[in-house]
Each structure stands twice: as C-alpha cells, then as structure tokens.
Amino acid sequence: MTSKFRHVALIGKYHASSAGPTGDSLRQALEDIAHLLERQGCEVVLEAETASNTGIAHYPVLTADEIGSRCDLGLVVGGDGTMLGIGRRLARFGTPLIGINQGRLGFITDIPFDAYRTTLPAMLQGEYEEDLRPLMHAKVVRDERTVYEALAMNDVVVNRGATSGMVELRVEVGGRFVANQRADGLIISSPTGSTAYSLSAGGPMLHPSIPGWVLVPIAPHTLSNRPIVLSDATEVAVEVVSGRDVSANFDMQSLASLLHGDRILVKRSEHCARFLHPEGWNYFATLRKKLRWNEGGS
C-alpha cells in the first residue's frame, strides 16, 4: 500500500544531556524505522543535526527549514524535549509530527518504541488523530527595544538566580495591572506545558482544547498568591522590578538574562504545532498512563 506521506524526515534526540537514546542505540533505532518507512513507500531524509550526531550517511540530509518546505511528515524519535525543539521550528510550515518515545513515556511523543512496528503503518495510511497545539510568542523589551524573541510550546518562565533571593515582578494581563508578585519566579504555561514545570509548581492541568494559559507563581512570598487560568487571547506582560540574576526561559531550551525594568511580553503565536497520534488516542488515556491513575484498571 502507498503511504499518504511521500517525503518523511527522521529527527533524533538533540541534547546529549536529556533523557533518551544516545549513540549506537539512537542510530539503530533510526535505521530500523527508516527501513519500515521505505517498505511503506516513503522517501526518507534525515534532519541535519540528527545525521551529524549519529553518523548515518546513506540518506539525504536537510535542515529544519528545508524539512518544513519539502517534507510531508516529521517523525521524531526521542522524548518530549526533542519534540518541543523541532515542533517550534516546523510549526510555521504546518508540518505534521509523529513522536516515538525511547525512555520515559512522553506526553507528546506518545508511541512507545516497542510499538512503532504495529502502529506506524496504519498511521502512514491516514489512520490517525490530529492534535493542534498553539505556540506562545514571547519577547524581552528593554528601553522600548526588543532585545530577544522566542517561541515556546510549553511555557515561558521568569525566575531568580540559583543563589539569589526572591524576585519582584509586576504582572499585567491585557494591559491591566494584576499585582506585584514576590516569589522565586513565575510560569506562564500553555495547556501543553500544564503537565510540565507548571504542574510541579502546583498549577492545574489544562485540556489541550482550552484556549487558555495558566499563570503559576513559584514559591510565592504570599500564600494567597495562587495559580490563575487566563484566556490566551490577551497579552501577558511581566516586568522585572527587583531581584538578582533574573532570567527568562522558553521551554527550558533557550534563555535570556534580564535587567531591572525589562518587560517580558507573551502572546499567542499565529502558528500551531501539528501532532499526529494513533487512531483512538485521547488525552485522558495519556494522563492515566503517565500519571499512573487507576493502576490496574482499564
């Protein structure tokens, strides 16, 4: 049978320090998956950093931008961190992504490695569930100039240095003053990121279909300063009032050092990441498996 996807890019783990496959195990995994794709009639290419990290040399190599403009599908092998990295880069192209997880179960790389042989063929024939995840667009404004810009899929985090005290942050939503918050930091999380750092800081889980964000203080000085769910149609502004070694992190994969008076402006991006899941996938099944709800149940 002919695959619905003609040109498929294989993307492996980006960062050697994160969980997941490295070295020979990643190379073997990618080669095994490539052979399956070829049997399904797909033309396989490798993402450039993946090819460099693994030494696989017998497939064409493309940059992320070239994948976005030339490929019908990206197939990611690794964990959620790998998917976040490539998802941000391919979102503006609308390239769909399938995630195969090696290591811990991921929320967005949700196909276990030992199941890809039985799962992928049906998905390549068009039997899948599509899941759109809006991105966040953030910028750092200093003296009315934008000094840093980034996209985030999970969260934008403003926090203190490792050895410094609390920070004070002025928060505005839709141009309206909310509060000056004294805390270790502040998380602005998307529904996708609500099961990541936001959850560990006491924030709620948001279903991916909700057009909202959650604002979560990290270890707030005032205990009544609680997480709040916001519409993602409004811009959130965070101004650094005081604190030392303050920084802004974007999906914990890029960082900007901040000065007093800097403003971090976060709004919904025009781009969405497109995830494809096996037919029958649903968000609650992922939560049950990842968070071990109702262990022993169906």
Q: Is 80 a catalytic residue?
A: yes
DSSP tag of 244: S
Angle between helices 116-124 and 23-39 (to 10 degrees): 40
Distance CA 174, CA 236 (A): 6
Identify which of 290, 289, 286 has the alpha carbon closest to the alpha carbon of residue 277. 286
Pick the catalytic residue from 80, 131, 155, 262: 80
Alpha-carbon dihedral angle through residues 181, 182, 183, 187, given to the nearest 10 degrees: 20
Beta bridge partners of 236: 173, 266
Reduce the DSSP state of residue 81 to 3 states and report it. Answer: helix
DSSP tag of 276: E
Residue 47: φ, ψ to 5°: -65, 145
Positions marked active-site: 80
